[in-house]
Chains A and B, each alone.
Chain A
Amino acid sequence: MNRRELFTGTAGNAACHAITPRGAQRIPNVVMRTHENRVVRFYDDLIKDRQVLINMMYATCEGYCPVITMRLVEIHEALHARMGRDLFMYSITLKPEQDDPAALKEFARMHGALLPGWTFLTGDAYDIDTLRYELFRHDHIKIDADLDAHAGQMRIINDATNRWLHVAPMASKMTVLQHIAWADPPKSFEQRLEENRRLQERIDQEVELYGYRKVI
């Protein structure tokens, strides 16, 4: 009995159901081109039912992008066992008119980012603007019109569970990894209890890190 059967099976005729991903209603299914010059559909091929990390960059960007890309390489290293299996990274260019697949590949090579599960994407400028708005918008005209405003952010989506999160890529590695974990595939109750038990051990050992005191 797999997990799904377990849940639907025990739920009787009541509330339980398999959740339907709603990303399709929100994320534009635009045609894009990868750094390997492959043509993909953004939602269908890249997001659907997956846990993904998305950031925006452009190859000639000298402020945030290289630093963030270096940070993402570290994140990739920490999660390499999952990358390309159930976790994917996408870096979308903000300047598609400059960044063709070759330029993106060169950028990736330069930063040591030609790694499994990590795709650099370019496409039509209009489509990318649409994507940028849907993924990162604040519903605020001044911010949303500013390209750089969206270069310093990372969106974490688990489409299978409809979970959207964001994290500042420049937060500590531990924090970024925890945020990614907040969007992890659901855990069973036993897994959760086990994690809870381990967390308690850490709290007891590292009282200070958790900001707690041993006051009675």
Chain B
Amino acid sequence: MSHQQADLGKTPGAAPSDARDGLDRRTVIKSGALVGAAAIITSKKSQVLAAGAPWPAPPVLCGTTTPTSPATRPFIDNLPVPPPALPVLLHPFPTRTANIAAGEAARAAHQRWSEFLPLIHYHMTAAPSLHKHHTDLLPSYLWTFNGHYPAPTPLNYYGVPSIVRFRNALPEQQDNPTFGVSEITVHLHNGHTPSESDGFAADFFGPGLFKDNHYPNVYAGVDEFGGIGDPREALHTLWFHDHRAASTAHNNFLGLNGMFLLYDAKDPSHELPTPGSLRLPCYYGITDIPLILADKRFCPAANGRNEVFQVIGNNPVVGDKWIVNGKIQPKMRVRRRKYRFRILATGPVKAWSLSLIRSDGTQAPVTVVAVDGNFLPSPVVISDRPLDVQVAMRYDVIIDFSAFPAGSKVYLRENAAQNVGVAVPDPAPGLPIGNVLMRFDVVNMDFLFPADTPPIPSVLAEMPDPIVPDGVFQWNFTLENGRFLINGQEFDHNRIDHVVLKGSSEEWVLANDVAAGNWNHPVHIHFEEGFIMSRRRRVSQNPDVFEDVPLLPEELGRRDVYPLPPQHRVVMRMRFRDFSGRYLIHCHNMNHEDDFMMVRWDIVDSLEELTRKRREIDERRMLAGLPPQYKHGGLV
């Protein structure tokens, strides 16, 4: 049988015996053990994709003793930019209900499918591949989408719905040499995405299966405003990552994440003077550069590899090398003009504290224009403090390199030092080499390079109408008996902890009552962007006395990750519009998330269902000896 004819009725693992001899492309495709039979049911195009690189031999891991990463010289590699994802024509064609016969993972039917029929198709295959993090290191075995770490970036437009087929071509679990779990469910953080495409943590699927995530690419507020929603609800910098329950940290550490950009008239994919455009630097990969941050630790060279260090069990992996777009301490040549950098912390745990340092050791200003992909009301210049980026947060910053003379070097500083391993003099006074994340080499403009953009507008975004909440609800993030809990319970994907009505809005209080000096939880709420209304901090140890903490200027916009330090209360408001189903709130410290500091909350369509489900929740809580959550029989 040829692979084109092969169907699911045939035994996927049982390739013909001639597959043993030699390893041509077809053999790679056919060997079910390698690709979990995935390729057999893929289109011809994706087979070529999957077979484009020979399958890497599995890693031999370097024990459980935490190694010190090998030495790497700074500023050897150029900063890579993840390639734009190339649209394909999916075969079999995406369908509204799950195409079980072709191997699609079970799911509910796509909501509002005919309204937002996907026009752009992408194919993202999660598979092992080799990645070199530095010229001085040998390649490492990672799990990547389409062979790239970080994954290729889908460049999408509001109003043009797309669909991404996530295919699992990871090794079968019995052949899995890593600490990851080869089952995936991919979340687009933080798309206004229908529930069945939102990458719910327990909706993971194993090797050989695929799942079509439908991204309507609409602004929130479709029902209210018609068309593609309220343009004031735009967010432009998103990222997608594996969300597999209990294994998110490991699977992300292995490389299953990437950026996802959404453009519209205000933030088009170009810098030309078109109506409504803010005219910020916006040529992807040229003047608009993702900076995808991660930390990793490498084993000593063995078997032609420097494998990333992995331990068995649930221990956090703490890196000693800082990675930017997949490289250690890269350099980037920049022209004397404005650039936009989209900074993203991919975790699993590390938070970043970044500042831009001139070669004389002084701090240079950066201008924050967007937080979590949402434009701020007006730009915020940061010149006397570092920029704190916690896991999953995105900061779009503009750096104007025309302020630096040609030939000068500018450094991005991270507050915590990494292990470099080679003796290098401090690149700038008071800046040890270990603290340098990357270097910018400023050169003169040349006529081929796009001319500088106009000054950054003083008003960037109009905020949506203020939210008048229909109800108030509190989420308590606690640590009891060694377990990370939300409202006294661990995540249970079958249990609904809160129900809201589609079209309504609520005020939520996020409370972190662990002792001061303890964990900070970057709380992520799926589905829609919210506003921070206020932030309070408990005064000394008195349980009831709080003081207001003034919001930072960059906290005044919309966002989807709410940093929650110990003893803090964050009051935020959000709306629930257009789609219904189950969604998540969780701490985005992925180790806490994997320890199930996560809850499921549902959006329902009718008042009847809301009342009934709220009553059920309170009945269940009573049985468990917990106080009721709702008053007035579930109506708020």
Contact = CB atoms under 8 A, between A and B. Distances in A.
A153 B482 contact: yes
Interface string B76-115: 0000000000000000000010101001011111011110
A110 interface: no
Given A19-B175, A161-B173, A213 B58 contact: no
Contact of A15 (B109, B112, B171, B245): B171
Contacts of A209: 494
B31 A12 contact: yes
B14 interface: yes
B490 A161 contact: no
Contact of A192 (B19, B196, B209): B209
B496 A211 contact: yes
B479 A134 contact: no
Contacts of A212: 108-109, 195-196, 581-582
Interface residues of A, number: 73
Given A151-B481, A163-B173, A163-B181, A12 B495 contact: no
Given A17-B58, A196-B205, A213-B108, A172 B595 contact: no
Interface stretch (A35-43, A120-128, A181-189): A181-189
Interface in B109-133: 109, 111-114, 128
B315 interface: yes
Contact of B58 (A15, A164, A175): A15
A197 B205 CA distance: 12
B44 interface: no
Contacts of B353: none
B34 interface: yes
Interface string B192-236: 000110000010011111000000000000000000000000000
A47 to B, nearest CB: 12
Secondary structure call for the B interface: loop
Contact of A172 (B312, B479, B492): B492
B61 interface: yes
Contacts of B358: none
Contacts of A163: 173, 181
A211 B602 contact: yes
Nearest to B592: A138
B206 A210 contact: no
A189 B173 contact: no
Contacts of B179: 162
A209 B316 CA distance: 33
B617 to A, nearest CB: 13
B315 A137 contact: yes
Given A189-B37, A203-B108, A166 B581 contact: no
Contacts of A12: 19-23, 27-28, 31
A138 to B, nearest CB: 6
Contacts of B56: 15
Interface stretch (A21-29, A72-80, A81-89, A100-108): A21-29
A186 B37 contact: no
Interface residues of B, number: 90
B106 A203 contact: yes
A196 B57 contact: no
Interface in B159-188: 171-177, 179, 181
B176 A216 contact: no
Interface in A174-212: 174-175, 178-179, 182, 185-190, 192-193, 196-197, 199-200, 203, 207-212
B366 interface: no
Given A143-B482, A149-B481, A6 B13 contact: yes
A192 B41 CA distance: 15
Contact of A18 (B23, B175, B313): B175
A216 B117 CA distance: 11
Contact of A200 (B19, B106, B175): B106
Contacts of A143: 479, 482
A57 B173 CA distance: 31
B596 interface: yes
B109 A216 contact: yes
B588 interface: no
Contacts of A197: 100, 106
8 shortest interchain CB distances as A-B pairs: A211-B582, A149-B482, A212-B108, A200-B106, A7-B33, A199-B106, A186-B174, A168-B490
11 contacts: A9-B17, A14-B34, A161-B176, A164-B314, A166-B314, A178-B202, A182-B245, A212-B108, A213-B580, A213-B581, A216-B112
Given A17-B177, A25-B64, 18 more contacts: A10-B15, A12-B19, A17-B58, A136-B482, A138-B595, A144-B482, A153-B482, A162-B312, A165-B246, A179-B246, A186-B173, A192-B209, A193-B208, A196-B209, A200-B100, A200-B107, A211-B582, A215-B579
Interface of A: 6-19, 22-23, 25-26, 64, 134, 136-139, 143-144, 146, 148-153, 160-168, 170-172, 174-175, 178-179, 182, 185-190, 192-193, 196-197, 199-200, 203, 207-216
